[in-house]
């Protein structure tokens, strides 16, 4: 049972050190902070920016800035003066004036109290020259300031909205603290995102209108992009002219000479220049060695010499090389002339060698991130389409980065580039659209705790298959770790070890992005199963002694709570040793961890000293609120309840304070349930008493304290009745369900699951109930709940509305792709939609002459209304083929009585079998709705007359006429009365009966429907060709949204869709991809 606010969100979790007891983690929790606008106002912002982007800035910055004292003073005044709080400072200068040197130096050396995030637009560098790159890189720095993980897989629009809000929130927070915040953007003139297409937008247009200080720099002659709106501060900002730096001129001359020497040097020198120029930058020394046929050592040696001053080395896992200045790339391009094309061709051949090998794991990073930008820059559209729609390359990019952002960005860039090119055509845009939709809906629905819960109920293979489809590496590592723990407990040591091996590899690979949290969690799990070698390896991956000290303290608490005092003491000693080796320096969270371990193990004096150190350091941090929450939980873990309460109650943020009180109450309840109840009643918001008592009730139920648990649960349910319908109420509802399961009251637990948790989509809550049921011995019910939780998770995942896919189903059927249509229809979760698809498929099969298969699908249609038309059509075809008996059988299988009777009447007329009319009349007698009954009788009357059966006709006429004399009839309003109005009182000729009924039927259709029929079914946009309209829809929406119009206009698009779906294969996130034959 997670606390409110602790929703499990992919790639957005931080590990907290919770009190873990054997078999006591049924409603365990994690501290998870999903960044949103509300939280941004209270997030910690005491950190300096320490993101990977600063490494890029360090490459740009000079070793020493000379002669810029006046400009630095101007920047300092601008960034610290109250009068410039919402202003822009704009520098303009010619190339080689030293703009980037000045601003990069300032970013790395800001004045005291000034916090800076920056972006240096570099036209020649992929992922550094457009609006999307700007947003991604600045967001990374903002996340680092607030110490939060990024939100993954946001669309461009949502990412930009999130960027604006977070930027303003961080600036506001610094201002409230009496400090300053500045956004620096250099090189607006090098923005390559504005490519002339309708959907392209500039970096300048995204810069904030108000609320943030902004410093920008660009060339002296640079017009603002046309998408910068009137009234934007850039339109009226004062422009400062930046005088050229003498040092910059000297550097320019030296670099130009270097280029000339390289061009006239050896073949290897010329090759290095050619490939770096052709690639636009981004090749590593290994890449250059492969391309030039030399060694890595030789490449690096040549680029370190004086002739290599024209290049800069961008740091990273594999450092890459690019031109040291944008002007140098232009100059090198001119100098190489026609030779440049041969280098491009060799670059393409090299790229194709990896593509033809299906993108092995050692594929160069450039081919995943920079090559496509080169194809865009050189307008090589054929190769561009080949690479961005390669599913294997997309999958490798996901493996390397952990998300699909880069692959989506490439496709969206390609769409914008190709949209207005009529020579490209709709088929190409369709192929791109299929891949974009597939990536957006890639499988990421599996809750992290689901696989381990399946193991709890004995479904190991199912658990393993679910783990394999978790795309996020952090979440997959967690799922592997938790599943391995359950397997080990159940005696499956070998399989548990294999899963932990994979988890260890994943966790260490993402350590640079997520800090020590995942490593500590893995170590704790490994320690609980006595896998000491793994624990030591994981701790070895933690670089800093202060972090290792905190990790060892966490391990000490973990084994102490498992009643292993001696082993806990050993880990505590290791924590103290690591702390001492770091000169007793540690952050407050780490100190709190060590203090908690000391207190738990009885080292009271040492704990007191460390607690005082925490309190001494805590107020000095600008992220006080955030750290207080972590510190309070650490103290609670070690049994320092009074101190934990003191810290928790000092937290000003409402939600964070109340969540920490839950932690304290939970830990106290483990040792003193009476005190925990007293604390729950005396602390916190009275409106959230039901949530705090839920924690106590669970502990009472777990310990078998039935009287207390029953009393508390009754009170909680009374409080819930008047509580707000929010996350806190959901938390206590989960507590009810889990507690009742622990008490053995399975029916009551199931009531809460079915009535509250499942309707709320509370998947983790249902899984917690399932775990409790396993431990209470009701394995069957637990298995059912896990199944329900999985179904709920699938239903709430990003998915395609089946109704929207019915258009695609219709096209598959029109093109006789029946197998594909069947697989797609069976994937629909909504019964009505599945029935509609089955009905369309049955009709298509009838038209194709596959009558037996059509009959099979007809019986699968659960909605009786949707059975009618295909059943009528199947009966009609069978009658035409002389299969009278089979047609009668199919008619009798109709679910709806009225429909069944009408079909039998139709068959009676076709095969001239009056006895079938009696069967239909008997059915009519059982129809309770009078109007429906009358409709059947009128139909039978007409057929009886057509068959010349005067006796039956007379009897039916008398019965129908009886309705006309009913006192409750409303002749002017009753539609069915319209059908028999004018029928004679006495039977004269049978022809008269038939004519009257047919005439009234024609009149009914004329008056009821003709006037309301739409004049046109297809939308037409005035002044815009239909092909342009369809093309724009392919770029702005999912391809299946308007697939009917698309295929009507361009039939070949249908085959393109099938081809791309087959290439993509079974990406189960996109249910429709199951329609592929593969």
Q: Say if residues 924 and 900 touch (Cβ distance below 8 Å).
A: no
Could you tell me which residue, 51 or 586, shows the higher pLDDT? 586
Q: Say if residues 537 and 519 touch (Cβ distance below 8 Å).
A: no
Q: Say if residues 955 and 996 touch (Cβ distance below 8 Å).
A: no
**Comparing C-alpha atoms, which of 274, 266, 381, 287 is closest to residue 332?**
274
Under the banding of pLDDT at 50, 70 and 90, the label for residue 28 is: very low
Q: Which pLDDT score, from 0 to 100, does residue 1010 have? A: 32
pTM reported for the whole predicted model: 0.47
Strand order in the sheet with 283-284: 283-284, 320-323, 311-314
| pLDDT tens-digit map of 164-190 | 878 888 888 888 888 999 999 998 888
Q: Which pLDDT score, from 0 to 100, does residue 698 have? A: 94
Could you tell me which residue, 636 or 804, shows the higher pLDDT? 636
Q: Which pLDDT score, from 0 to 100, does residue 692 have? A: 93
- In this prediction, residues 540-551 reach a mean pLDDT of 85
Q: Say if residues 434 and 1041 touch (Cβ distance below 8 Å).
A: no
Can you tell me the distance from the alpha carbon of 432 to that of 415, in angstroms, rounded to the nearest whole number? 7
Q: Say if residues 691 and 731 touch (Cβ distance below 8 Å).
A: yes
Could you tell me which residue, 649 or 930, shows the higher pLDDT? 649
What is the DSSP code (8-state) at residue 193? -
Q: Which pLDDT score, from 0 to 100, does residue 194 have? A: 64
- In this prediction, residues 719-745 reach a mean pLDDT of 91
Residue 1032 has pLDDT above 70, yes or no: yes
Can you tell me the distance from the alpha carbon of 783 to that of 348, in angstroms, rounded to the nearest whole number? 54
3-state SS class at 1035: helix
Could you tell me which residue, 512 or 485, shows the higher pLDDT? 485
- In this prediction, residues 728-754 reach a mean pLDDT of 93
- Measured in whole angstroms, the distance separating CA 531 from the mean position of its chain's CA atoms is 34
Under the banding of pLDDT at 50, 70 and 90, the label for residue 124 is: low
Residue 668 has pLDDT above 70, yes or no: yes
Q: Say if residues 604 and 592 touch (Cβ distance below 8 Å).
A: no
Residue 672: C-alpha distances to residues 599, 600, 696, 738 (Å): 17, 15, 10, 20
- In this prediction, residues 569-573 reach a mean pLDDT of 90
Q: Which pLDDT score, from 0 to 100, does residue 481 have? A: 92
Q: Which pLDDT score, from 0 to 100, does residue 508 have? A: 81
Can you tell me the distance from the alpha carbon of 950 to that of 610, in angstroms, rounded to the nearest whole number? 106
Q: Say if residues 162 and 34 touch (Cβ distance below 8 Å).
A: no
Q: Which pLDDT score, from 0 to 100, does residue 176 have? A: 84
Q: Say if residues 321 and 283 touch (Cβ distance below 8 Å).
A: yes
Q: Which pLDDT score, from 0 to 100, does residue 54 have? A: 80
Q: Which pLDDT score, from 0 to 100, does residue 196 have? A: 52
Can you tell me the distance from the alpha carbon of 151 to that of 149, in angstroms, rounded to the nearest whole number? 7
Least confident of 312-321, 370-379, 754-763, 1060-1069: 312-321
Burial status of residue 722 (CB atoms within 10 A of its CB: 0-12, 13-18, 19 or more): exposed
Kindly report the backbone phi and psi dihedral angles of residue 90, in degrees, each rounded to the nearest multiple of 5, phi listed first: -115, 120
Least confident of 250-254, 491-495, 520-524, 803-807: 250-254
Kindly report the backbone phi and psi dihedral angles of residue 116, in degrees, each rounded to the nearest multiple of 5, phi listed first: -125, 135
The CATH number of the domain covering residues in 246-356: 1.10.10.10
- In this prediction, residues 781-788 reach a mean pLDDT of 90
Could you tell me which residue, 975 or 424, shows the higher pLDDT? 424
Least confident of 146-160, 553-567, 858-872, 873-887: 146-160
Q: Which pLDDT score, from 0 to 100, does residue 415 have? A: 87
- In this prediction, residues 808-815 reach a mean pLDDT of 84
160 Cβ partners below 8 Å, 6+ apart?
Answer: 131, 135, 206
The mean predicted confidence, pLDDT, of the chain is: 78
**Comparing C-alpha atoms, which of 1049, 1046, 1043, 1030 is closest to residue 824?**
1043
Q: What percent of the chain is modeled with pLDDT above 70?
A: 78
Cα three-residue angle 836-841-845, rounded to 5 degrees: 150
Least confident of 93-107, 567-581, 599-613, 1058-1072: 1058-1072
Q: Which pLDDT score, from 0 to 100, does residue 752 have? A: 93
Can you tell me the distance from the alpha carbon of 576 to that of 153, in angstroms, rounded to the nearest whole number? 41
Could you tell me which residue, 781 or 8, shows the higher pLDDT? 781
Residue 976 has pLDDT above 60, yes or no: no
- In this prediction, residues 939-956 reach a mean pLDDT of 86
Residue 493 has pLDDT above 90, yes or no: no
Can you tell me the distance from the alpha carbon of 902 to that of 884, in angstroms, rounded to the nearest whole number? 16
For the chain, helix (H) and strand (E) counts, in that order, are: 55, 8
Residue 39: C-alpha distances to residues 43, 424, 623, 626 (Å): 6, 46, 13, 11
Q: Which pLDDT score, from 0 to 100, does residue 841 have? A: 92
Q: Say if residues 806 and 833 touch (Cβ distance below 8 Å).
A: yes
Kindly report the backbone phi and psi dihedral angles of residue 862, in degrees, each rounded to the nearest multiple of 5, phi listed first: -85, -20
535 Cβ partners below 8 Å, 6+ apart?
Answer: 523, 526, 527, 555
Least confident of 261-270, 352-361, 704-713, 1053-1062: 261-270
* DSSP H or E segment with residue 93: strand 88-93
Residue 990 has pLDDT above 70, yes or no: yes
Kindly report the backbone phi and psi dihedral angles of residue 1062, in degrees, each rounded to the nearest multiple of 5, phi listed first: -65, -40
End-to-end CA distance of the chain: 40
**Comparing C-alpha atoms, which of 800, 772, 776 is closest to residue 786?**
772
Cross-strand pairs, 217: 91, 186
Q: What percent of the chain is modeled with pLDDT above 90?
A: 17
- In this prediction, residues 641-646 reach a mean pLDDT of 86
Q: Which pLDDT score, from 0 to 100, does residue 888 have? A: 92
Q: Which pLDDT score, from 0 to 100, does residue 731 have? A: 92
- In this prediction, residues 129-134 reach a mean pLDDT of 81
Strands 320-323 and 311-314: antiparallel
Q: Which pLDDT score, from 0 to 100, does residue 561 have? A: 75
- In this prediction, residues 850-864 reach a mean pLDDT of 87
Q: Say if residues 663 and 690 touch (Cβ distance below 8 Å).
A: no
Q: Say if residues 959 and 930 touch (Cβ distance below 8 Å).
A: no
Highest mean pLDDT: which range of 17-21, 76-80, 821-825: 76-80
Cα three-residue angle 671-674-677, rounded to 5 degrees: 105
3-state SS class at 194: coil
Residue 738: C-alpha distances to residues 26, 721, 763, 765, 1038 (Å): 8, 19, 13, 8, 41
Residue 894 has pLDDT above 80, yes or no: yes
Could you tell me which residue, 143 or 652, shows the higher pLDDT? 143
- In this prediction, residues 813-835 reach a mean pLDDT of 83
Can you tell me the distance from the alpha carbon of 506 to that of 526, in angstroms, rounded to the nearest whole number? 15
The CATH number of the domain covering residues in 39-244: 3.40.50.300
Q: Which pLDDT score, from 0 to 100, does residue 386 have? A: 92
- Measured in whole angstroms, the distance separating CA 147 from the mean position of its chain's CA atoms is 21
493 Cβ partners below 8 Å, 6+ apart?
Answer: 487
- In this prediction, residues 503-518 reach a mean pLDDT of 74
Least confident of 18-27, 105-114, 442-451, 548-557: 18-27
Under the banding of pLDDT at 50, 70 and 90, the label for residue 398 is: confident
3-state SS class at 48: coil
Could you tell me which residue, 440 or 660, shows the higher pLDDT? 660
Residue 19 has pLDDT above 50, yes or no: no
Q: Which pLDDT score, from 0 to 100, does residue 980 have? A: 53
Residue 763 has pLDDT above 60, yes or no: yes
763-776 helix and 779-796 helix, angle to the nearest 10 degrees: 170
Under the banding of pLDDT at 50, 70 and 90, the label for residue 1070 is: very low
| pLDDT tens-digit map of 312-325 | 666 554 666 666 55
Under the banding of pLDDT at 50, 70 and 90, the label for residue 253 is: low
Q: How many CB atoms lie within 10 A of CB 790?
A: 21
Residue 12 has pLDDT above 50, yes or no: no
Residue 479 has pLDDT above 70, yes or no: yes
- In this prediction, residues 1030-1036 reach a mean pLDDT of 78
């Amino acid at each position: 049972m997670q606390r409110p606010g602790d929703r499990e969100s992919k790639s957005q979790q931080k590990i907290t050190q919770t009190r873990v007891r054997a078999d006591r983690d049924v409603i365990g929790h994690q501290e998870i902070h999903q960044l949103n606008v509300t939280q941004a106002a209270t997030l910690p912002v005491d950190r300096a920016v320490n993101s990977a982007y600063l490494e890029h800035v360090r490459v740009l910055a000079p070793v020493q800035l000379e002669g810029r004292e006046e400009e630095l003073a101007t920047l300092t005044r601008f960034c610290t003066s109250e009068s410039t709080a919402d202003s822009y400072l704009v520098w303009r200068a010619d190339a080689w004036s030293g703009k980037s040197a000045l601003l990069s130096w300032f970013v790395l050396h800001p004045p005291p109290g000034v916090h800076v995030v920056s972006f240096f637009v570099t036209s020649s560098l992929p992922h550094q020259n457009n609006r999307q790159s700007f947003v991604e890189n600045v967001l990374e720095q903002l996340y680092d300031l607030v110490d939060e993980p990024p939100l993954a897989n946001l669309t461009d629009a949502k990412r930009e909205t999130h960027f604006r809000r977070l930027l303003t929130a961080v600036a506001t927070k610094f201002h409230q603290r009496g400090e300053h915040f500045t956004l620096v953007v250099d090189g607006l003139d090098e923005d390559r995102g504005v490519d002339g297409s309708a959907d392209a937008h500039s970096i300048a247009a995204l810069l904030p209108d108000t609320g943030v200080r902004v410093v920008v720099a660009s060339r002296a002659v640079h017009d603002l992009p046309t998408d910068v709106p009137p009234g934007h501060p850039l339109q009226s900002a004062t422009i400062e002219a930046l005088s050229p730096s003498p040092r910059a001129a000297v550097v320019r001359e030296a670099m130009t000479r270097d280029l000339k020497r390289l061009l006239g040097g050896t073949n290897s020198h010329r090759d290095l220049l050619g490939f770096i120029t052709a690639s636009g930058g981004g090749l590593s020394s290994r890449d250059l060695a492969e391309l030039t046929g030399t060694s890595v050592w030789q490449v690096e040696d040549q680029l370190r010499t004086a002739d290599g001053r024209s290049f800069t080395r961008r740091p990273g896992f594999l450092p890459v090389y690019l031109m040291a200045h944008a002007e140098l790339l232009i100059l090198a391009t001119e100098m190489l002339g026609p030779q440049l094309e041969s280098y491009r061709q060799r670059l393409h051949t090299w790229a194709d060698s990896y593509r033809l090998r299906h993108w092995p794991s050692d594929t160069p990073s450039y081919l995943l991130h920079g090559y496509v930008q080169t194809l865009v820059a050189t307008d090589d559209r054929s190769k561009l389409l080949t690479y961005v729609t390669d599913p294997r390359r997309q999958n490798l990019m996901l493996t390397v980065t952990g998300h699909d952002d880069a692959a989506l960005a490439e496709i969206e860039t390609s769409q914008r580039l190709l949209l207005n090119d009529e020579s490209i055509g709709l088929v190409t845009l369709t192929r791109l659209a299929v891949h974009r939709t597939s990536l957006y809906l890639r499988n990421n629905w599996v809750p992290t705790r689901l696989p381990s819960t399946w193991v709890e109920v004995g479904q190991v293979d199912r658990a393993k298959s679910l783990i394999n489809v978790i795309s996020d590496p952090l979440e997959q590592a967690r799922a592997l770790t938790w599943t391995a723990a359950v397997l080990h407990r159940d005696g499956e040591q070998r399989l548990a070890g294999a899963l932990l091996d994979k988890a260890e590899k994943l966790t260490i690979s993402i350590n640079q992005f997520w800090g020590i949290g995942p490593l500590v969690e893995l170590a704790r799990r490994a320690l609980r199963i006595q896998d000491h070698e793994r624990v030591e390896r994981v701790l070895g991956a933690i670089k800093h002694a202060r972090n290792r000290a905190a990790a060892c303290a966490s391990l000490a608490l973990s084994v102490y709570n498992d009643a292993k005092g001696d082993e806990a003491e050993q880990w505590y000693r290791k924590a103290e040793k690591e702390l001492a080796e770091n000169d007793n320096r540690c952050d407050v969270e780490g100190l709190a961890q060590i203090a908690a371990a000391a207190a738990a193990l009885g080292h009271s004096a040492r704990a007191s000293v460390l607690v005082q150190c925490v309190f001494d350091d805590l107020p000095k941090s600008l992220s006080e609120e955030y750290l207080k929450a972590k510190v309070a939980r650490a103290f609670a873990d070690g049994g320092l309840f009074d101190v934990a309460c003191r810290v928790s109650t000092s937290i000003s943020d409402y939600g964070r304070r109340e969540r920490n009180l839950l932690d304290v109450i939970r830990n106290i309840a483990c040792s003193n349930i009476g005190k925990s109840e007293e604390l729950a009643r005396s602390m916190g918001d009275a409106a959230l008493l039901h949530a705090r008592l839920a924690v106590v009730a669970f502990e009472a139920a777990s310990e078998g304290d039935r009287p207390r648990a029953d009393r508390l649960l009754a009170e909680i349910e009374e409080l819930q009745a008047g509580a707000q319908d929010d996350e806190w109420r959901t938390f206590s509802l989960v507590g009810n369900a889990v507690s009742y399961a622990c008490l053995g009251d399975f029916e009551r637990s199931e009531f809460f699951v079915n009535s509250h948790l499942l309707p709320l989509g509370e998947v983790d809550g249902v899984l917690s109930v399932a775990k409790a049921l396993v431990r209470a011995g009701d394995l069957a019910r637990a298995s059912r709940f896990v199944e329900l939780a999985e179904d709920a998770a699938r239903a709430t995942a990003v998915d395609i509305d089946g109704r929207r896919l019915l258009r695609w189903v219709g096209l598959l059927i029109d093109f006789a792709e029946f197998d594909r249509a069947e697989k797609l229809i069976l994937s629909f979760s909504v019964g009505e939609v599945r029935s509609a698809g089955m009905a369309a498929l049955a009709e298509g099969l009838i038209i194709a002459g596959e009558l037996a298969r059509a009959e099979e699908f007809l019986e699968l249609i659960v909605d009786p209304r949707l059975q009618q038309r295909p059943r009528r059509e199947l009966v009609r075809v069978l009658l035409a083929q002389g299969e009278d008996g089979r047609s009668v059988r199919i008619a009798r299988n109709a679910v709806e009585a009225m429909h069944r009777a009408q079909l039998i009447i139709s068959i009676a007329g076709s095969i001239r079998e009056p006895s079938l009319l009696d069967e239909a009349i008997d059915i009519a007698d059982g129809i309770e709705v009078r109007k429906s009954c009358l409709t059947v009788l009128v139909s039978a009357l007409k057929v009886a007359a057509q068959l010349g059966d005067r006796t039956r006709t007379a009897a039916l006429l008398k019965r129908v006429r009886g309705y006309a004399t009913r006192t409750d009839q409303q002749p002017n309003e009753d539609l069915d009365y319209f059908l028999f109005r004018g029928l004679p009182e006495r039977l004269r000729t049978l022809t008269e009966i038939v004519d009257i009924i047919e005439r009234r039927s024609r009149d009914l259709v004329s008056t009821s429907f003709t006037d309301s029929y739409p004049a046109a079914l297809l939308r037409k946009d005035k002044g815009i060709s239909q092909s342009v309209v369809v093309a724009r829809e392919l770029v702005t929406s999912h391809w299946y949204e308007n697939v009917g119009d698309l295929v009507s206009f361009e039939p070949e698009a249908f085959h393109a869709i099938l081809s791309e779906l087959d290439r993509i294969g079974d990406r189960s996130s996109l249910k429709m991809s199951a329609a592929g034959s593969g």
